[in-house]
Structure 1
Amino acid sequence: MYATAKDGTKLYYETAGETGSPVLFIHEFGGNYDAWEPQMSAFARRHRCITYAARGYAPSDIPADLDKYSQAIAVDDAIAVLDHLGIEKAHIVGLSMGGFATVHFGLSYPERALSLTVAGAGYGCEKETEEYFRGVSLTVADKFEADPEGFAEIYGRGASRVQFENKDPREHLKFVTRLARHDKIGAANTMRGVQARRPSFWDLEDGLKACDLPTLIMVGDEDDHCLQPGIFLKKTMPASGLLVLPKTGHTLNLEEPEMFNRHLAEFLAMVEAGAWGRRDVRADPGQVMRTD
């Protein structure tokens, strides 16, 4: 099953569940459409669930032209999948690279989103490490292009991935195996065209302040370079809530699937009940204790 993007790129997708509100899952750089299996199985009971392979990830098309990859294109691809399925609005759920796409989806197409769930997003956002991240992204691109299978073993055991390996080595091995199947051109172009060129959340402050969409921000407490960006999103987006998972790294939906699913389910239920709104104006962040 394929949707067609604006430029003709074919995007592979899968669906589960036929009733309830739609939920679109957008995967991270290190994953693919099938990395959402614990969520597709759980949420298909009450929702129409969709997951897809981003461009550059088989079985979607893998354009060789770097200009076919960007943050804006990634968002338009998500819209293309919804349009193909005839879905006007959906809950948008993204992890890491997919979390960035979710934020930009809310900024560019707020009328198409029921809610946003932004998980493990923030790499490259911190201004003090922004240029370093861009350089590292280009190095990662080179290494995936040279040897995707060999480099998967290194990338898959980064500082925010070892938590997953320690908790669930069998599932982590599946993650590394999936990572090793990345197409070398697709992985390199995704890193160079999307990751290395996307703007920091701090550069989007005005748009984030104006975004009224119900938003759940999820961060692992050992995913160090997503913590401050997560707090920034919480402080900036008026209808957002922040969930920090303890002793947890980057791959939230696979590392802690039960917690992830439980909190996501509660969030979606609150949104659909109209119970997740803007922060109460009385909750003044500048107030320490009320004296009058």
Structure 2
Amino acid sequence: MPYADNGGLRIHYEELGGEHDLPPLVLVFGFGMTVLDWVDLGYVEALKDAFRLIAIEPRGHGTSDGSTNPDDYRLDLLASDVIAVMNHLAIEKAIVGGYSLGAKIVLSLASRHPQRLAGLVLGGFEFASEVRIEDDLVIDSLRKGGPAWRDLWRRMMDLPPAMAERLLQANTGALIALREAEGCWESLADAVHTIDVPCLLYAGEHCLGRNAVRAAASSIASSRYVELAGLTHFQVLGESAWICSEVRRFFA
């Protein structure tokens, strides 16, 4: 497996598409997901003939290194994992896409490293997350172990079998630390005002982050907002054909 080094941490990535005229597209999925989820959910097949695709597992995800210390999951450190992979692959500028937690990481990257961006794809995010550690559903499921974590996802969306299997193998200790840290992150509401590259934004009609995504779109000059009618935050993940067609159209 290919890894980039970030301050002694191994950050796993995969190159999933060949060279094309458009800038590379770097992908960062949501909380607890892996690079292979981009494959199983259909995104790679829909985009590989248009973009050089690089999918990244930030610290604590998949086979990347992680710790059980919440201090190791500051938002700027997660953003630096993406930059480390770009540096490792000698990618000066890229279109960077993220969904949910991935979108937060990408927004942090955009505010700290705007010179590395050729464009953005952002979906399903909130500017800040309220995490009540004592009764947080995510933390509770992770504490119970892999089967409970997988079953939580199964209640939210139709899971490809391979994705369900990977959820069983999640680094639950690292993800608990990340979730605890997430509740302490700074708001990203101001980050959108610094974006000056083309930005495609999307959310489901019933996504908790819908209002934040729409507000971000209204603050970014070169942006387009698209909404998936009738869908929740997790159901949007399965709409790869629709989302990828919008990505291709926007950056054509």
1:58-105: per-residue Cα shift (whole Å, max 9, x none)? 311122333211111111100000000010001101010001111112
Structure 1 residue 52, shift from structure 2 partner: 1.8
Structure 1 residue 197, shift from structure 2 partner: 2.0
1:137-162: per-residue Cα shift (whole Å, max 9, x none)? 973325413323223313542xxx3x
1:214 pairs, out of 190, 198, 216, with 198
Q: Report the secondary structure of 1:93's partner residue.
A: strand
1:145 maps to: 143
CA distance 1:142–1:253, change in 2 (3 Å):
closer
Provide the rounded CA distance (Å) in 2 between the counterparts of 1:201 and 1:53.
21
Paired letter, 1:73: L
Q: TM-score, normalised by structure 2?
A: 0.89
Provide the rounded CA distance (Å) in 1 between the counterparts of 2:109 and 2:135.
25
5+ residue gaps, structure 2, are none
1:31-58: per-residue Cα shift (whole Å, max 9, x none)? 2111111222332212211012121123
Provide the rounded CA distance (Å) in 2 between the counterparts of 1:137 and 1:246.
34
Q: Structure 2 matches for 1:11-30, cutoff 5 A? A: 11-20=11-20, 21-30=23-32
Q: Report the secondary structure of 1:179's partner residue.
A: helix
1:94-142: per-residue Cα shift (whole Å, max 9, x none)? 01000111111211111101101111112x63xxxx5xx2216973325
2:167 maps to: 179
CA distance 1:152–1:17, change in 2 (3 Å):
closer
| 2:200 is the alignment partner of 1:200 | no
Provide the rounded CA distance (Å) in 2 between the counterparts of 1:144 and 1:56.
13
1:243-262: per-residue Cα shift (whole Å, max 9, x none)? 10112222366411110110
CA distance 1:50–1:263, change in 2 (3 Å):
same
1:134 pairs, out of 113, 125, 131, with 131
| 2:78 is the alignment partner of 1:95 | no
Give the aligned CA root-mean-square deviation in angstroms: 2.1
CA distance 1:141–1:66, change in 2 (3 Å):
same
> For the pair shown, which has the larger CA radius of gyration, 1 or 2?
1
Provide the rounded CA distance (Å) in 2 between the counterparts of 1:151 and 1:42.
28
2:87 pairs, out of 58, 83, 87, with 83
Q: Do the aligned partners of 2:228 and 2:236 also contact (CA within 8 Å) in 1?
A: no
1:264 pairs, out of 230, 247, 251, with 247
Provide the rounded CA distance (Å) in 1 between the counterparts of 2:135 and 2:10.
26
Q: Report the secondary structure of 2:209's partner residue.
A: helix
Structure 1 residue 175, shift from structure 2 partner: 4.1
Q: Report the secondary structure of 1:118's partner residue.
A: strand
2:176 maps to: 188
CA distance 1:154–1:39, change in 2 (3 Å):
closer
1:71 pairs, out of 64, 67, 75, with 75
Paired letter, 2:35: Y
1:9 maps to: 9
1:249 maps to: 232
**Identical pairs, percent:** 22
